[in-house]
Amino acid sequence: MTVARDIMTPDPQCAGIGQTIGEAATLMRDLDVGALPICGDDGKLAGMITDRDIVVKVVAVGRDPGSVKVSELADGEPVTVGADDDVREALRVMQEYQVRRLPVIDGHELVGIISQADVALSLSAAETGETVEEISEA
């Protein structure tokens, strides 16, 4: 059985809840990623922030990326999957919640992220196509 741990990108770097949006954007640029998990001081996952969040919720409305905290964009309980959950469960969660990046946890520790690219590299073309189609529905 293939589990989430088998296809995830391990050891993701977090944006801290106390960091500014500008700092998170710089980290995204430096890591060449479009999304970052948001982690609290205790290391617990608090949410996800995307480059689109930064543009739509901060820049486009005239807010200062240097003063807005990442914590302001960490809405609700993050959608996750367990590291040892079957990969089919991870795909189901991605489809149900229409998320392109899914944090993978082991207990309460963030251990990885499954992205659409991870799905494409690890699964059949049919499974990848179905997942991307479901995630992208409006």
Q: Domain of 35: which CATH number? A: 3.10.580.10
Q: Is the pLDDT of residue 17 over 90?
A: yes
Is-contact 38 15, C-beta < 8 A?
A: yes
Residue-wise pLDDT tens digits, 101-128:
999 999 889 999 999 888 878 777 777 6
CA distance 129 to 5: 21
pLDDT of residue 134: 67
pLDDT of residue 137: 65
Residue ranges making up the domain that contains 59: 4-136
Residue-wise pLDDT tens digits, 37-85:
999 888 889 999 999 999 999 999 999 999 999 999 887 788 999 999 9
> How many domains are there within the chain?
1
pTM of the model: 0.84
Q: How many CB atoms lie within 10 A of CB 96?
A: 11
